[in-house]
């Protein structure tokens, strides 16, 4: 037996060598395929900028999906990627203190959060200097991209694009100056999100017509391609924001947190047709939770929940129809551009479908769940809208999968367990 054991151990280094060789053969060496990763530009809104936990701050920016993408690109080529980093706390952000257990186990624990104060002068101060490669502006709607007064409406643009007080520069002007070898463009989500966050109530929530959306979107695309129409890139469409936890955490029936009877009561909402009880498929905004709990709004027909805290069935239908209409325009623009080139150079990334898989039924990725559950789902941060670091890693992998398929590349995906969901104290 001793002799046999000796033989086994004498072969062990050789076996390990073969196993190592096999692993190397199974994992292809990273390569860029048809792409040249000399200079990458990211275009978008808050989802691209790294907005997280209700604010834009240093950690969120450094964990934005474009920055995570670049880490994978650098396995092939050590490309530059400079972001317009705000001072450490930036605008301020939400931080989880604890989960307060309720008197009854029928009611989930209530998150206790506090707002980390903003850094002084975040509207006029940056920690890095241009030129920048992440040109994403939180809150940017597609119809604002040609506005020469955007710097007056959006402090992020004024600061990041270094717009002088006299103005005169539009977002698309900024894009046109950015020479690039490869780009990602993900715009339009803030349009539908703005409508949803206001419960579809006017003024201020109006959605532009699909043909107008197509015009502005195409202008941004052409600005990126001004230097070279054959520049390769990825264009992402718009997810169904109604599946975000901000719109799915407060149910249509209210459970009293002070008793364990298990009884529920309907929530009354104000609609354009009058006051009625909410329906199961309608969306009550997360911000309404405290109004119902502490002010008893919505618990009687005499004190209904105001319409700006609810997406009723007609508003929800309109939101989804417009999202699909915008996505159709994006698809047509990508197809039209590729049709004028000898070889297609822009790939469409179907965020509507890919995020829908996680949001509607949930996924298991790298052994961990990715769902739209508030706080525990891993995908969304404390604001219930923008991704966590883990969510950004998941999104980066969606882009990587499309790059590999369309441009015949072999860029390794990210292990999303290397990044946190919501951080617990």
pLDDT digits (tens, 9 = 90+) for 408-417: 999 999 999 9
Residue 360 has pLDDT above 60, yes or no: yes
When divided into structural domains, the chain yields a total of 1
What share of the chain in percent tops pLDDT 90?
84
Note whether residue 274 is domain-resident: no
Note whether residue 281 is domain-resident: no
Which two structure tokens, joined as six digits, stand for 348?
A: 């469409």
Q: Please, which pLDDT band fits residue 4 given cuts at 50, 70 and 90? A: very low
Non-local CB neighbours of 66 within 8 Å, separated by 6+ positions: 40, 42, 48, 81, 83, 133, 134, 136, 184, 396
Report the pLDDT averaged over residues 24-49: 88
pLDDT value, residue 26 = 60
CA separation for the pair 394, 417 (Å, rounded): 10
pLDDT value, residue 116 = 98
**Choice between 176 and 19, residue whose per-residue pLDDT is larger:** 176
CA separation for the pair 194, 246 (Å, rounded): 13
Task: Let me know: does 205 contact 136? Beta carbons within 8 Å.
Answer: no
What share of the chain in percent tops pLDDT 70?
91
| Parent domain of 58 | 40-247+312-418
Note whether residue 106 is domain-resident: yes
Note whether residue 402 is domain-resident: yes
Note whether residue 339 is domain-resident: yes
Task: Residue 230: give its domain's CATH number.
Answer: 3.40.50.1110
Task: Let me know: does 405 contact 34? Beta carbons within 8 Å.
Answer: no
Helix/strand/coil for 142: helix
Query: 54-63, 67-76, 199-208 — which is least confidently predicted?
Result: 199-208
Note whether residue 3 is domain-resident: no
CA separation for the pair 213, 219 (Å, rounded): 10
Number of residues that this document lists for the chain = 425
Note whether residue 305 is domain-resident: no
**Choice between 258 and 409, residue whose per-residue pLDDT is larger:** 409
CA separation for the pair 169, 259 (Å, rounded): 58
CA distances from 420 to 62, 99, 391 (A): 13, 17, 9
Residue 167 has pLDDT above 90, yes or no: no
Note whether residue 115 is domain-resident: yes
pLDDT tens string 368-419: 999 999 999 999 999 999 999 999 999 999 999 999 999 999 999 999 999 9
Query: Whole-prediction pTM value?
Result: 0.92
pLDDT value, residue 2 = 42
DSSP 387: B
DSSP string, 208-276: PPHHHHHHHHHHHHHHHTSS-TT--EEEE----GGGSGGGTSB-SEEE-TT--S--EEEPEEEETTEEE
Q: Please, which pLDDT band fits residue 16 given cuts at 50, 70 and 90? A: very low
């Amino acid at each position: 037996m001793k002799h046999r054991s000796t033989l086994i151990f004498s072969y062990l280094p050789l076996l390990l060598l073969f196993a190592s060789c096999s692993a190397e053969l199974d994992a292809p060496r990273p390569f860029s395929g048809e792409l040249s990763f000399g200079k990458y530009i990211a275009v978008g809104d808050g989802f691209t900028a790294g907005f997280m936990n209700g604010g834009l701050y240093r950690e969120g920016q450094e964990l934005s999906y474009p920055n995570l993408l670049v880490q994978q690109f650098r396995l092939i080529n050590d490309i530059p990627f400079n972001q317009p980093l705000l001072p450490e706390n930036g605008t301020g952000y939400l931080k989880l203190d604890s989960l307060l257990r309720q008197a009854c186990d029928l009611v989930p624990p209530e998150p206790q959060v506090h707002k980390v104060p903003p850094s002084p002068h975040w509207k006029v101060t940056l920690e890095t200097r241009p030129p920048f490669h992440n040109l994403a502006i939180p809150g940017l709607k597609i119809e604002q991209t040609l506005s020469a007064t955007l710097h007056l409406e959006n402090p992020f643009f004024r600061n990041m694009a270094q717009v002088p007080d006299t103005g005169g520069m539009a977002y698309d002007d900024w894009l046109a100056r950015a020479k690039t070898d490869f780009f990602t463009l993900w715009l339009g989500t803030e349009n539908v999100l703005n409508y949803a966050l206001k419960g579809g109530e006017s003024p201020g929530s109006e959605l532009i017509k699909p043909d107008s959306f197509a015009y502005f979107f195409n202008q941004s695309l052409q600005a990126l391609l001004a230097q070279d129409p054959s520049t390769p890139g990825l264009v992402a469409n718009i997810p169904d924001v109604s599946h975000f936890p901000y719109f799915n955490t407060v149910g249509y029936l209210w459970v009293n947190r002070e008793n364990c009877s298990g009884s529920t009561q309907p929530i009354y909402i104000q609609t354009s047709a009058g006051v009625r009880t909410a329906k199961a498929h309608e969306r009550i905004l997360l911000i309404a939770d405290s109004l119902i709990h502490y002010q008893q709004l919505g618990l009687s027909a005499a004190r209904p929940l105001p319409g700006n805290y609810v997406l009723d069935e007609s508003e929800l239908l309109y939101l989804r129809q417009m999202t699909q209409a915008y996505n159709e325009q994006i698809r047509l623009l990508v197809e039209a551009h590729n049709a004028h080139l000898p070889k297609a150079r822009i790939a469409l990334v179907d965020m509507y479908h890919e995020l829908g898989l996680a949001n509607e039924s949930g996924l298991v990725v790298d052994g961990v769940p990715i769902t739209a559950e508030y706080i525990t789902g891993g995908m969304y941060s404390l604001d219930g809208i923008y991704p966590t670091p883990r969510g950004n890693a998941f999104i980066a992998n969606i882009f990587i999968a499309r790059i590999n398929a369309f441009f015949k590349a072999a860029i390794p995906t990210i292990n999303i367990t290397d990044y946190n969901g919501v951080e617990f104290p």
